[in-house]
Structures are given as C-alpha cells and as structure tokens.
Amino acid sequence: MKKIKKILVANRGEIALRIFKTCKEMGIATVALYIEEEKKSLYVKKADEKRSLGEGNLRQSFLNSKKIIEIAKETGADAIHPGYGFLSENAAFSEAVEGAGLIFIGPTKDSIKMMGDKKGSKEHMLKLGIPVIPGFHGDDQNPEMLKKEASKIGLPLLIKASAGGGGKGMRIVEKMEDFDLGLEGAKREAMNSFGDDRMLLERYLTSPRHIEVQMMSDTHGNHFHFFERECSIQRRHQKIVEESPSPALNSDQRKKITDTAVKITSAMNYRGAGTIEFIYDTDGSFYFLEMNTRLQVEHPVTEMVTGFDLVKLQIEVAEGEKLHFSQKDITQRGHAIEVRVCAEDPENEFLPSIGKLKYLGDPTSSHVRFESALSEGDDITINFDPMLAKVVAFGINRIEATERLIKALETCGFLGLTTNSEYLQQILKTEGFKKGDTYTHFVKSHKSEIDSKKIKATKNNLALILGLSQLSLKKSTSKKEQASAASHSWNNLTGFRLY
C-alpha cells in the first residue's frame, strides 16, 4: 500500500471542487489545472496548488495527456484523479499515468478498453451469460449488410455508434425507408465526435427505463454495489433527472439487477468506481447497455441515500486498501433526486446561453446539495459543457424529496443567464413524474404538460425576490428537519455546498 499525499485533478469545475473537498478531509494536498480564462475560478482558488494549461482548444489543454503528466511530476503529485469526461475513460492515459510512476485513480487500462467499445463489451457480456438487447454487433460494416440485419431485428430500431456516448452517433429508425439516411447521419456524427464510425444495431424498446448500478471494487477481490439510480428522464439521450431508489423496482427486481452488476465486475476483476447501465423493460426484463468506468455526474444521488463518500473510497482503493465493510453494511435510506441546471434556453430549442453571472441564489435548505464551481461575476462561455450546477434533494420518501427539490430550484437563480431551471421544475410537477412513470420517452410524452406554463427565463427574475425567498426558506427550516438531517452523514448541515 502507498499512502497518497498529493493528487492532481485532471479536470475542472464542480467535479474538481468535489474531489478537493474529500482530499481536504483526508489530509491530501491538491493541484488544480486551468486554462487562462478560468484562472480566477472558484475551483482553482480552492486547490493547494494551481498550474496553467495555457490557452487553446481542449486538445491542447484538458486532453493533453503528456502535458498533464509532466505537471503532475513537476508538482510532486503521487496520483491523478481524472474526474469524469475529458481523459477519465482513456485507456492510453491510464497506461501513461502508471507508466510515469504515478497512481491513476480509476480502473486498469484493460477494463477501460473492454468497456469503452460498446461492441466488444456486449460480446463479453454474452460470454458471461448477461442479457443484452437483441441486435447486431458484428464487424461487417457494409451498409447493405447492415440493412439486411436491420430487417431481421425488426422495427423500431436504434442505430448507435460503437465508440463514445452522450447521445452522439445515434438514430432511431421507425420505417425501413429511413434506414439509409439514419445510418449515414449516425456514421457522420460518430466520426466527427469519436473518430470512429463503426455502428451497432439494436431493437429499440418503446417504453424502457434507464437504470444504472453504482459499483466499487478494491484490489483484494471485493466487489460491492451501492444500489441503483434511475436516469430515465432524458433529452436527446442525455440525462437531466436522476434518482434513487428507482420507483420501478421492488426488492426482488432490485436484487436481480444488482446481483447481475456484481457478477460483471467480479468477472472483470474490476478496480475502483464504475457504473453498469441497464435498459429495463415494462415486463421486468433488463439488458446490459454499457459500463462507465469512472465516477458519474450523478454520483451524489447514491451518496445521499447510502451515506458513503465515493471519492474517498476511490482514493482508498487506489492506495491499495481493502474496503473494510460488507455488502450488508450498504443500505438505501430515504430518497434522493438530482437535476442538472444548464445554461440553455428551453424556449429556443435549448440553445446554449452565454453571459456574465450577476447573481447566484444558493438553496440553503436542509437536505439539499448544491454543487457548482461558479461565483458571481463569472463569464459563461460555450467553451465547456453548459451545466452550471447540480441540485440534489434528499427526503424520507420520494414525495418529500421532490418537494424539497422544487423549493431549492425556486431559490437558486442564475441572474444574467437563461437556464433550464423552470423547465426542470415543470417536469417535477407533472402527474407522470409524481406517479413514477419515468420512461425514457418522458419528455416527449409529457411535452404539453411541461409546457403548460410558459417557461420563464431565469434572467427575468429579480435578485431581491430570490434573496427574500432564500431568507424565508432559511427561517422556515424546522427543528424536526434539522434533527432528521443530522441523522444522515451527507446531510448533517443545514444547506450542503461544496464550498
């Protein structure tokens, strides 16, 4: 075992802040990386040391693995944490980090390679006897052959890039006459996004749910699940609402899906944090979709309901420690829901919003995690992902968590920017959400209900109103709420914020 004394975080924004928080609690020094335009950002200020990646595009900065490793060695860092996105699922980066004598806080390069290829990962699952969605995962990419395979699989059909994710390189085909155009578009988008235009074909399930299982494995043969998150509410194949527990699963179904996830990580001899994603059908059957070999954006949901600090566990595993608990020690308590507040305009096809953040309303209610690396006066550009903050609410049950999340969104305005905050509130208020009918077509199916009230741009709200609402919310926090919060390790303060 090697105790880590200093970690370089090869990422930015709220995930860098999140990692710094745990490092500080563990007594580990931190190094932040930044590009010049973010030199004064909150996450940079909170690190013990900071190093510039200069100016230029992502390939010259946060995707420049050689430069990042050189900085890590210069600063005397023992380890690199990749966060999520950027180089977090890059097998070559993992190998290069360890080749430089540093610790990579993540899985082995072999695990990343295996699960980074959707085609290869599905073939591996079939060998393990894990169900996958019926489809074609072969090497032959001849368009005519793919069209023949599509006819065998049947409609509706999903054309999907073998490499990558995030909804890129995907097309739904409902009529065979649309297949050629769909294939052409998916291949073009996949090549532009991933430099790889290999395609998979899958039966498209009409009313599925997206359910994922949080995993953590040490290097001593222990493989644990931290229960499931449901991430079915998506727009353009990108998650916008995540929750745990899933409203769809009973105890037997939950055990089947989590046992399957443990079977997968055990067979792989996996290391560290990972998330195994499943498609869950209306009849209770489920199919392996993919595995993300990293920490997820929505990991706070799991931390809220289990009480475990997943970043701390990642670091302990990287140090070679044996995780000193058993599966029965991991339990689900209460309910947690997360939404992603983004700088985008719901009334204008969700186009990115740019501008200067003039006022940041902070939801300081009990049982709410507000994770953002923004400060008033920051400039929001189109250079990075539009997510401004993650807002996560915890409740004794799903109803309470929903109510607290709506209230939190009402008080965390981002003045100067147009955001999707009101849009998210409308989703949480629909009858479909209240009933737990959260299928992947939710946004499309409930469009009229979500749009029943005009989505107002956050920039039109008044700072004074937000400030008064926030003050009122603080005063209304009851002693009962505070006592309940204190019983949960991730809610032991009134109003959780990274810094």
Q: Which residue has the higher pLDDT, 244 or 496?
A: 244
Burial profile 163-175: b = 16 or more Cβ within 10 angstroms, e = fewer? bbbebbbbbebee
Q: What is the pLDDT of residue 455?
A: 53
Q: What is the pLDDT of residue 385?
A: 85
**Per the residue annotation, which of 198, 294, 340, 404 is the catalytic one?**
294
Beta bridge partners of 497: 370
Which letter does DSSP use for residue 132 in this model? B
Model confidence at 286, in pLDDT bands (50, 70, 90)? very high
Q: What is the pLDDT of residue 456?
A: 52
Return the beta strands (E) in 21-109 as ranges.
Answer: 29-34, 49-52, 79-81, 103-104
State yes or no: pLDDT of 163 exceeds 90: no
* Proportion of the chain above pLDDT 70, given as a percent: 90
State yes or no: pLDDT of 259 exceeds 60: yes
Range from 52-61, 328-337, 349-358, 469-478 that averages highest in pLDDT: 328-337
Q: What is the largest CA-CA distance in the chain?
A: 67
To the query of whether residue 294 is one of the catalytic residues in this protein, the response is yes
Q: Are residues 371 and 408 in contact, defined by beta-carbon separation less than 8 angstroms?
A: no
Average model confidence (pLDDT) across the chain: 89
Range from 27-36, 137-146, 165-174, 483-492 that averages highest in pLDDT: 27-36
The alpha carbons of the chain give a radius of gyration, in whole angstroms, of: 22
Looking at the domain that runs over 6-105, which CATH code has it been given? 3.40.50.20
State yes or no: pLDDT of 193 exceeds 80: yes
Mean pLDDT of 206-210: 93
pLDDT digits (tens, 9 = 90+) for 113-159: 999 988 889 899 999 999 998 899 888 999 999 999 999 999 999 99
State yes or no: pLDDT of 249 exceeds 90: yes
Three-state secondary structure string covering 290-311: EEECCCCCCHHHHHHHHCCCHH
Helix %, strand %, coil % for the chain, to 5? 40, 25, 40
User: What totals of helices (H) and strands (E) does the chain contain, helices first?
Assistant: 18, 26
Strands 157-161 and 170-173: antiparallel
Burial (CB count <10 Å: 0-12, 13-18, 19+), residue 153: middle
Burial (CB count <10 Å: 0-12, 13-18, 19+), residue 408: buried
Q: What is the pLDDT of residue 411?
A: 86
Q: 99, 39, 40: which is closest to 65 by C-alpha?
A: 99
Burial profile 295-305: b = 16 or more Cβ within 10 angstroms, e = fewer? bbbbbbbbbbb
Q: What is the pLDDT of residue 494?
A: 35
CATH 3.30.1490.20 fits 134-203, yes or no: yes
Range from 87-96, 113-122, 451-460, 477-486 that averages highest in pLDDT: 87-96
Q: Are residues 93 and 59 in contact, defined by beta-carbon separation less than 8 angstroms?
A: no
**Residue ranges per structural domain of the chain:** 6-105, 134-203, 209-497
Q: What is the pLDDT of residue 495?
A: 40
Mean pLDDT of 365-390: 90
Rama region for 478: left / alpha / beta (φ>0; ψ in -120 to 50; rest):
beta
Q: Are residues 106 and 294 in contact, defined by beta-carbon separation less than 8 angstroms?
A: yes
Only one residue has tokens 């005519």, namely 144
Q: What is the pLDDT of residue 92?
A: 97
- Assigned superfamily of 209-497: ATP-grasp fold, B domain (3.30.470.20)
State yes or no: pLDDT of 466 exceeds 70: no
CA distance 350 to 45: 31
